[in-house]
């Protein structure tokens, strides 16, 4: 969306504009909802830049679940609430529509599809990685496919959804914002899926007194969770063309990539130019952006090798 360099420069000087609550009242566009909030906020670009960078930061935080231990639920909820708040404000401004439309318009059909896939892949890869962790399980891989197929169904069959989404008018900000809302939750599958298990237990009317005891339905629930998150994230983007049949090569390409490699910006911007990027290409583009928010690309590489190794074991090659 915005080049990294510009963002960084602004953030040092204009920090107080967005971030400083009580202290920064006199600096630029105050975050305080004064008499005319809409007017106050459609103001300087530095404020919206800041807001955007805060949004990106929050989304990255949500995605970067530490796969080994369950992430802190309180922290995740607080970050998600912040994202929601920014989103609501942007929706009121109308900048939300601009952003999603720019996203849609800027990309040619194939790219848009891939971007969709990538983000969906992200959630499922994240879900797979969450389940797989260091000791991958077979069901997570099949979960990938299951989720993907259900996406397809939504794409081809759900003409209504298509129409509704292709007309991203100000009338339906709720729809897109609601579905984008689901996005971060989908992207933070660690606690989402955990809850799915417990939730499903109750739905199935098993003994839910102590929700910790999940039964053999866990597998099914994981798959259900994957398909759900797939649908939700999917709903964000405009669909102009039906999907091509699933490309197994593409699936495999993305299935073993840890979501922490994805910088949201890179996904949205990088994918425009080279749609068929592999995970290694993605890493190159990340590092080529200079000092990025993800300072752990070195550790990412070693994790990537580890994941590669694990995937090899699963695949049995």
Partner 1 sequence: ADVISTVEFNQTGDLLATGDKGGRVVIFQRETEEAGEVGDSGEYNVYSTFQSHEPDFDYLKSLEIEEKINKIRWLPQQNAAHFLLSTNDKTVKLWKVSERDKRPEGYNLKDEEGRIKDVSTITSLRVPVLKPTDLMVEVRPRRVFANGHTYHINSISVNSDGETYLSADDLRINMWHLDITDRSFNIVDIKPANMEDLTEVITAAEFHPHHCHLFVYSSSKGTLRLCDMRASALCDRHTKLFEEPEDPGSRSFFSEIISSVSDVKFSHSGRYLLTRDYLTAKVWDLNMDKGPVETYQVHEYLRSKLCSLYENDCIFDKFECVWNSSDSVIMTGAYNSFFRMFDRETGRGVTLEAWRENSKPRAVLRTRRVYTGGKRRRGDVGVDSLDFTKKILHMAWHPEENIIAIAATNNLYIFQDRVNPDAQTQ
H-assigned helices in 107-258: 109-132, 138-157, 159-166, 173-187, 189-203, 218-234, 248-255
- The residue from 70, 156, 284, 312 that contacts partner 1 (CB under 8 A) is 70
CB of 211 to partner 1, least distance (A): 5
Residue among 72 and 166 whose Cβ is closer to partner 1: 72
Q: Does 62 bind partner 1 (CB under 8 A)?
A: no
- Give the span between the Cα atoms of 147 and 234, in whole angstroms: 11
Neighbours of 175 (CB within 10 A): 16
Candidate segments 101-109, 132-140, 151-159, 276-284, binder of partner 1 by CB under 8 A: 132-140
Q: Which of 4, 11, 40, 272 binds partner 1 (CB under 8 A)?
A: 11
Q: How far is the CB of 235 from partner 1 (least distance, A)?
A: 13
Taking contact as CB under 8 A, which single stretch among the options 97-105, 112-120, 156-164, 205-213 is the one that binds partner 1?
Answer: 205-213
Told to check if 64 binds partner 1 by CB under 8 A, we report no
What is the C-alpha separation between 190 and 28, in angstroms, rounded? 39
Residues from 154 through 193 that contact partner 1 (CB under 8 A): 181-182, 185, 190-193
Is 242 a binding residue for partner 1 by CB under 8 A? The answer is no
Say how far apart CA 181 and CA 175 lie, in whole Å.
10
| Angle (CA) 258 262 265, round 5° | 175
Given the complex with partner 1, which of 104 and 182 has the nearer CB atom? 182
Residues 233-253 as b/e (b if ≥16 CB within 10 A, e otherwise) read: bbbbbbbeeebeeeeeebbeb
Contacts of residue 204, Cβ cutoff 8 Å, sequence gap at least 6: 217
Among 197, 231, 238, 263, binds partner 1 (CB under 8 A): 197
- Shortest distance, position 285 Cβ to partner 1, whole Å: 22
Residues 92-131 close enough to bind partner 1 by CB under 8 A: 130-131
Report residue 222 as tokens.
């994981």
Query: Binding of partner 1 at residue 57 (CB under 8 A)?
Result: yes
Is residue 133 near partner 1 by the rule CB under 8 A?
Answer: yes
The rounded distance, in Å, linking the Cα atoms of 117 and 137 is: 23
- In terms of Cα–Cα distance, which of 195, 182, 181 is closest to 70? 195
Residue tagged 């939730």 (tokens):
199
What backbone phi and psi angles, to 5 degrees, belong to 181? -55, -45
Applying CB under 8 A, does 212 fall inside the site for partner 1?
yes
> Is position 39 an interface residue for partner 1 (rule: CB under 8 A)?
no
Q: Enumerate residues 6+ apart whose C-beta is below 8 A from 9.
A: none
Task: For tokens 């070693």, name the residue.
Answer: 302
**Smaller CB separation from partner 1, 42 or 191:** 191
If phi > 0 it is left, if psi is from -120 to 50 it is alpha, else beta; for residue 28 that is left
> Which of 4, 15, 101, 161 is close enough to bind partner 1 by CB under 8 A?
15
Residue ranges that bind partner 1, judged by CB under 8 A: 11, 15-16, 18-25, 31-33, 51, 54, 57, 61, 67-70, 72-75, 77-78, 80-82, 84-86, 130-135, 137, 181-182, 185, 190-199, 209-214, 218
């Amino acid at each position: 969306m915005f080049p990294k360099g510009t963002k960084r420069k602004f953030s040092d000087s204009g920090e107080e504009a967005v971030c400083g609550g009580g202290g920064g009242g006199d600096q630029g566009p105050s975050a305080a909802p004064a008499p005319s909030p809409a007017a106050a906020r459609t103001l300087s670009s530095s404020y919206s830049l800041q807001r955007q960078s805060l949004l990106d930061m929050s989304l990255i935080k949500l995605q970067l679940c530490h796969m080994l231990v369950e992430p802190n639920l309180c922290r995740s909820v607080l970050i998600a609430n912040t994202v929601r708040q920014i989103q609501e404000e942007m929706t009121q401004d109308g900048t939300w529509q601009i952003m999603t439309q720019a996203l849609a318009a800027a990309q040619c059909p194939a790219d848009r599809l891939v971007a969709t896939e990538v983000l969906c892949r992200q959630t499922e890869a994240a879900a797979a990685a969450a389940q797989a962790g260091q000791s991958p399980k077979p069901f997570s891989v099949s979960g990938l496919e299951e989720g993907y197929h259900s996406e397809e169904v939504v794409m081809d069959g759900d003409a209504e959804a298509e129409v509704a989404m292709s007309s991203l008018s100000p009338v339906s900000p709720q729809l897109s914002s609601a579905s984008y809302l689901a996005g971060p939750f989908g992207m933070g599958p660690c606690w989402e899926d955990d809850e799915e298990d417990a939730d499903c237990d109750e739905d199935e009317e098993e003994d839910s007194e102590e929700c910790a005891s999940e039964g053999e339905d866990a597998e099914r629930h994981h798959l259900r969770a994957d398909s759900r998150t797939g649908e939700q994230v999917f709903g964000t983007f405009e669909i102009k063309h039906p999907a091509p049949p699933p490309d197994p090569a593409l699936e495999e390409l993305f299935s073993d990539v840890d979501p922490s490699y994805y910088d949201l910006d890179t996904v949205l911007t990088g994918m425009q130019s080279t749609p068929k990027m592999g995970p290694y290409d993605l890493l190159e583009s990340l590092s080529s952006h200079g000092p990025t928010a993800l300072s752990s690309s070195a550790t990412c590489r070693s994790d990537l090798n580890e994941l590669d190794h694990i995937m090899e074991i699963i695949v049995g090659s």
